[in-house]
Amino acid sequence: MPKHPAKIELSAGTRGRDSELVGHRGELRQLAGDTLLYAVTAALVRLATFLLTPLHTNFLHPAALGEVSYLFALLAFVNVVLTLGWESAYMRFAVEQQERGTVFAYAWATMGAHGVLLCGLGWILAPRIAPLMRLEVLGAEGVRAAVAMAFLDALAVVPYAELRLRRSLVWYAVLRLVNVGVLVLATVLFVVFWGWGAGGVLWAGVAASVSTALGTIPVVVRVFRWRWRAALYGEMLRYALPTVPAALASIALHVLDRPLLMLLSDASSVGIYQANYRLALPMVLMVSVFEYAWRPFFLQRMQRADAPGLFARVFWYWNLGAAFVFVMLTLWMPLVVRLPLGRGFLIHPAYWEGLGVVPVVAAGYALFGIYVFAAAAAHIRKKTERLAMAMVLAGAVNVGLLVGLVPRWGYMGAAWATVGAYAVAAGAMVWMGRRLYPIPYPWGRVAGVWGGALVVAALGYGADPLGRVAWTLLMVGLLWGAWRLGRRWV
């Protein structure tokens, strides 16, 4: 009999723990690699579409460009109604069903049939819809182009989800880049050379959507397998439909501040707010591209015994990265916008008074990232109605804060309302998630990291460039130390 059995058990437990941590690190590197590819793809897509801005402003008069922007904003809501939550339903059920092709067929065919019905109706009624939408420049042609775009984009949603689940990330990236490449070339052809005006912008979008729909045909052919199982279809439908109000509330949460700011303030405030809001793009991208990689990651691992610990580690590392991005935006964006860019600047000096919006919006999106993490519990347990509850609650808080803060603080009130709304969404989802799928999030350590980030950002915000360098190095050191310590935490 061993003399020290307790020590032997401890040694064996330590070895098991070390083996688990090594396995976690490999999976974390995989998740980081997937996120990086999504980030690069998203950045290239954003850059290409940004380069179309000079073309739009030089070839379209303001009223025409305004109608185009208005239609694209409405398309975000239309796409939610068309997809009806079937993307989420497919990803959730595909990971646990042996008949994956049948699950794919239900999701893709339902969205296709629904799209034919609604978009066909929109195409027929376009001459009546256009006057109701006050489309004086685009008219019925604009409605029909938007309807066609929405239908084609809906057809690609489930194949995109399949590529994400199978980690066919190169194919996914190629389809996205081909889409934006066709968009740019078609816009130049239709607007510059053929002189189609605002309609040309929309039909260029249709051409890009056609390229994506065609590119996803091989996915459909490979995966689609029809076999009617009423019980499975009903279960998928019950999962999908509650995500629709959550998605609509989420979109409203992201864009409602602009129209309410216009109503409660003036156009100048909206312009300053929007210009500086866009400067928080690095944090927005960090949340959005991570969400693309995160959902298939947790769905494929949710049944494992070590999954909660793995998810907690992902949460820890994500917060380290988010804290770094927040500090960099706070310290350096006020200087970056003042660097000469050709004959001008990144944004015109008339907008610089609103630079205080940047760190506030960045903090809000960091909170939204916490919501994204916590929402995993609702997807895992198929309680998607909880998503709707959290987002509707956050939307109501957003409206209340906007009404209360904007008359006093103007666009800064709108920025703080965003933070408040995202905090409510994150808090509500974390609270509900604890009862659905408990994850041992390291809240104390995360609070310590964010406390340090807020202190560095506050003290370094008004410093000279050399002082900002010193504060940046301090933050890097703090995060490096936290990362080293956190490598042993589960």
If you write DSSP's letter for every residue of 127-151 in order, what string do you get?
HHHHHHTT-TTTHHHHHHHHHHHHH
The Cα-based distances of 89 to 76, 86, 271, 447 in angstroms read 19, 5, 38, 34
Both tokens assigned to 216 = 């996803």
Per-residue DSSP letter, 3 = S
State what percent of residues in the chain have pLDDT above 90.
30
Range from 254-263, 380-389, 424-433 carrying the lowest mean pLDDT: 254-263
Supply the pLDDT for residue 34: 60
The Cα-based distances of 458 to 1, 69, 328, 465, 482 in angstroms read 61, 36, 12, 15, 20
Q: How confident is the model at residue 165 (pLDDT cuts 50, 70, 90)?
A: confident
Rounded to whole angstroms, the Cα distance separating 329 from 277 reads 12
The answer to whether 186 and 203 have CB atoms below 8 angstroms apart is yes
Supply the pLDDT for residue 227: 86
pLDDT at 420 over 90: yes
pLDDT at 18 over 60: no
Supply the pLDDT for residue 57: 62
Range from 35-39, 113-117, 287-291 carrying the lowest mean pLDDT: 35-39
pLDDT at 36 over 80: no
Supply the pLDDT for residue 247: 76
Confidence (pTM): 0.67
* DSSP-assigned beta bridge partners for residue 344: 341
Residue 483 burial (CB count, 10 A): 14
State what percent of residues in the chain have pLDDT above 70.
82
Range from 113-127, 227-241, 363-377 carrying the lowest mean pLDDT: 227-241
Residue ranges in 338-410 assigned as alpha helix (H): 357-380, 385-409
Mean pLDDT score across all residues of the chain: 82
Range from 103-117, 146-160, 276-290, 387-401 carrying the lowest mean pLDDT: 276-290
Supply the pLDDT for residue 423: 95
* Long-range contacts, 181-188 (Cβ 8 Å, 24+): 181/48, 182/207, 182/208, 182/210, 182/211, 183/48, 183/49, 183/52, 183/207, 183/208, 184/48, 184/51, 184/52, 187/52, 187/55, 188/55
Amino acid, res. 24: H
Highest average pLDDT, of 32-46, 56-70, 253-267, 445-459, comes from 445-459
pLDDT at 13 over 90: no
Of 288, 284, 240, residue with least CA distance to 387: 240
Supply the pLDDT for residue 245: 78
The answer to whether 45 and 304 have CB atoms below 8 angstroms apart is no
The answer to whether 331 and 472 have CB atoms below 8 angstroms apart is yes
- As a whole number, mean pLDDT of residues 358-385 equals 90
Range from 17-31, 35-49, 300-314 carrying the lowest mean pLDDT: 17-31
Give residue-wise pLDDT tens across range 85-125.
888 888 888 877 667 889 999 999 998 998 999 999 999 99
Q: How confident is the model at residue 215 (pLDDT cuts 50, 70, 90)?
A: very high
Q: How confident is the model at residue 12 (pLDDT cuts 50, 70, 90)?
A: very low
Q: How confident is the model at residue 14 (pLDDT cuts 50, 70, 90)?
A: very low
Rounded to whole angstroms, the Cα distance separating 15 from 117 reads 59
Cα atoms in the Cβ-side hemisphere of radius 13 Å centred on 421 = 31
- As a whole number, mean pLDDT of residues 115-141 equals 89
